[in-house]
Amino acid sequence: MIGREDAGASAPGPLLSLRGVRKSFTTHGHTNVVLRSIDLDVAAGECVVLIGASGSGKSTLLRCVNLLETVDDGVITLDGAEITDPRVAVDRVRAKIGIVFQAYNLFPHQSVIDNITLAPIRVHKVAPAQARARAMEMLERVGLPDKAHARPDDLSGGQQQRVAIARALVNNPALMLLDEVTSALDPELVGDVLDLLGELCRDGMTMIVNTHEMTFARQIADRVCFLHGGEIHEQGTPEDVLGAPQQERTQQFLARLR
């Protein structure tokens, strides 16, 4: 099992909590409020799928959680500790969070195993032998143990994305953030990556998944959240939100996908 050990053994509340989170971007004197007021709780072991139109702020929300963006207002807590506190040790927060983006962002000139062990060795000061052993475990986990010494370019897009997931898992994160991880892949490669995420979810990993794959959302989500107007406009079980949406905006969004 991956992920449960760190996940809020002490905290009875949600593993992750966002309250009144606001994020805007100001360019050329114009302010674009992307997240107006986000309230969201994610329990340990829960898989939350975020859906919403392109530009609705799904990526921004994940980037705020990983402290890649500074929120304008509001509070985010992870495992009971406020991570939006300006005095927080950002590296220590990020060590608890694995993030995978649409483009896999592997270092092209390094082998798969070096890609996975780089941060543990350099940032987290794990002994190289131990880091490599852990990386091999993660490659087993994502079904690519024989690719340890391959270069990213020698792998398919789906395999590269599975390496990126292995890299994100290597610190044993309490929370995984997955941002449209299949949207850059050829359709025939999407299935393997989605299957892997489904397995992680069943193993008890806590995840927030941004996706436009509604079939996948239906399969793995414990809860689906529809982001619109800078807020979680509607949320509930996949059956409810995807099958019988209550809000007109949710209905319109889903109708456009069909």
Which is closer to ligand ADP, CB of 10 or CB of 27? 27
Buried/exposed code over 199-223 (b: 16+ C-beta within 10 A; e: otherwise): ebbeeebbbbbbbebbebbbbbbbb
The residue of the chain with the least Cβ separation from Mg ion equals: 59
Q: What is d(CA 117, CA 143) in angstroms, rounded to the nearest whole number? A: 17
User: Binding marks (x or -) toward ligand ADP, 164..203, rule CB under 6 A?
Assistant: ----------------------------------------
Binding segment for Mg ion (CB under 5 A), chosen from 59-67, 127-135, 161-169, 220-228, is 59-67
Contact (Cβ atoms closer than 8 angstroms) between residue 177 and residue 205: no
Q: How many CB atoms lie within 10 A of CB 39?
A: 13
End-to-end CA distance of the chain: 36
> Residue 66's closest CA among 57, 78, 55?
78
**By CB under 6 A, residue 230 contacts ligand ADP:** no
Partner whose binding site includes residue 31, from ligand ADP, Mg ion, none (CB under 5 to 8 Å by kind):
none
Asked if 232 and 35 count as a contact pair (C-beta separation under 8 A), the reply is no
Amino acid in the structure at residue 135: A
Residue 102 CB, nearest approach to Mg ion (Å):
7
| Of 28 and 125, CB closest to ligand ADP | 28
Closest by CA to 182, choosing from 174, 171, 192, 173, is: 192
Give the interface segment with ligand ADP, choosing from 24-32, 85-93, 107-115, 212-220 (CB under 6 A): 24-32
148 HSE (CA, 13 A, CB side): 15
Stretch that binds ligand ADP, among 53-61, 103-111, 112-120, 188-196 (CB under 6 A): 53-61
Maximum C-alpha span of the chain = 55
**Residue 56, contacted partner among Mg ion, ligand ADP, none, CB below 5-8 A by kind:** ligand ADP
Query: Which residue from 56, 182, 211, 235 is in contact with ligand ADP, where contact means CB under 6 A?
Result: 56
Q: How far is the C-alpha of 227 from the C-alpha of 148, rounded, in Å?
A: 38
Structure token digits, residue 144: 């690519």
* Minimum distance of ligand ADP from residue 230's CB (angstroms): 9
Minimum CB separation from Mg ion for residue 63, in Å? 9
233 touching ligand ADP, by CB under 6 A: no
From the list ligand ADP, Mg ion, none, partner contacted by residue 34 (C-beta under 5 to 8 A by kind):
ligand ADP
24 vs 172, beta carbon nearer ligand ADP:
24
Residue 60 contacts Mg ion per CB under 5 A: no
Which distant-in-sequence residues (6+ apart) come within 8 Å of 181 by Cβ? 100, 101, 102, 161, 164, 165, 193, 197, 209, 211
Per CB under 6 A, the list member of 3, 8, 14, 52 interacting with ligand ADP is 52
Q: Which residues of the shown chain bind Mg ion in the complex (CB under 5 A)?
A: 58-59
Contact residues for ligand ADP (CB under 6 A)?
A: 25, 27, 32, 34, 52, 54-60
